[in-house]
Amino acid sequence: MPGHADRPGETRPGLATVPPPERGATRIADRVVAKIASRAAREALPPPPADAVPPHATVVVRRQASGSGGTDGTPTHSARIRVSLELGYPTDIGARCGEVRRHVAERVEALAGMEVPEVAVQVERLHLTHGPGAARGRTR
């Protein structure tokens, strides 16, 4: 239609550009961040046995005021995450926990746009895994 400025690069009369800090912010619920973290923990581990409880996470999100945000003035958010999981045994527990820690931090930062200064991994239970041809007796 003539008189409308809907083409790229054109501005409509009477509309002003709002600076980023004044536009508002997207808030992501803590439970959503916890679901992202739980899913990321599952992605970092091999498939669990049928009777295993899937990894679950609890999250504490700290929201900083808009004045103390990033370089563009937008607020920054950080999430401290605790992931509880079950692992197969024998395994390198430290290496598995490190993989989970790294993957959870990367996924939460990428998907939720939050800084993740801490991911605590709690191993609640170990499942004895038997390889093919392994004895099914007591493991030392």
Question: N- to C-terminal Cα distance for the chain?
Answer: 80
pLDDT at 67 over 50: no
pLDDT at residue 56 in the model? 87
Does 41 or 18 have the greater pLDDT score?
Answer: 41
Using CA atoms, how far apart are residues 131 and 140, in angstroms rounded to an integer?
15
pLDDT at residue 7 in the model? 61
pLDDT at 72 over 90: no
Instruction: Show me where the domains of the chain are located.
Output: 27-64+76-128
Does 90 or 73 have the greater pLDDT score?
Answer: 90
How is residue 90 written in tokens?
Answer: 């024998």
Which range is most confident: 2-6, 8-12, 72-76, 116-120? 116-120
Mean pLDDT, residues 104-112: 95
Alpha helix ranges (H) inside the chain:
30-44, 93-112
pLDDT at 134 over 60: no
> Looking at the DSSP assignment, which residues form a beta bridge with residue 119?
81
Using CA atoms, how far apart are residues 136 and 134, in angstroms rounded to an integer?
6
Say which CATH architecture domain 27-64+76-128 belongs to.
2-Layer Sandwich (3.30)
Using CA atoms, how far apart are residues 68 and 70, in angstroms rounded to an integer?
7
Using CA atoms, how far apart are residues 128 and 130, in angstroms rounded to an integer?
7
pLDDT at 69 over 70: no
Q: Is the dihedral of CA 32, 33, 38, 44 positive or negative?
A: positive
